[in-house]
Copies of this chain bind each other. A is one copy, B any other.
Amino acid sequence: MNFSITEENYIKNIYHLQQQSELVNTNSLAFELQTKPASVTDMLKKLQIKNLLDYEKYKGFRLTNKGNKVAINIVRRHRLWEFFLVTKLGFEWDKVHSIAEELEHVSNQELIQKLDRFLNHPQIDPHGDPIPDGNGKIPIIHQLSIADVIENKKVIVSSVANQSPAILELLNHYHINIGTEIKINQRFSFDRSIEIKVGKYAPCIISELVAKNIFVHHE
């Protein structure tokens, strides 16, 4: 089944609000979507008729199983595009959300499948959020900062805590990007600096401060 862009935006935002509280209420969804409560009520009825929403007047609402599946698919598209924008087009982390907000509605199945393969099946988006797979499974991934990774482990960069231009400049210099594979070689006790190997580049040393700001995951 196919949904309008508006419907998709409602579905996705209900999904996100559900992560915080069991039942979602009209006002908070209206705020999230920058619209009026009356408009939300109208759409709730429509989503209920399409079996995407469990909704009782005045009591709040939540997505049905079907609705959840649709939502997760939209989230998948959104985060894959975000990953693409950062790793392939060189966007900074804070610029990609609004663009992905549009791209997520291009809902050709084969497109997303091929994009996923092209990006090498990434598991975490540039903001550190998990990317659901094609079956709607959301990977549970424990991220940790490089400062906490044991020696000789290979990890993948998933996000960066401090997103200032200053750290960005440094990371570019190290060839470190979202999705980059890094091997932790050894830790030096004097200043807790760490020798790492970034992709196929020669090993280099990063400071403890940098290490603490880079979040990574295994596999």
Contact = CB atoms under 8 A, between A and B. Distances in A.
Interface string A150-188: 000000000000000000000000000000000000000
Interface residues of A, number: 19
A106 interface: yes
Nearest to A100: B106
Given A91-B110, A99-B108, 8 more contacts: A89-B111, A89-B114, A89-B115, A95-B110, A99-B106, A99-B111, A102-B108, A103-B103
Interface of A: 85, 88-91, 95, 98-99, 102-103, 105-106, 108, 110-111, 114-115, 117-118
Contacts of A99: 106, 108, 111
A90 B114 contact: yes
A114 B102 contact: no
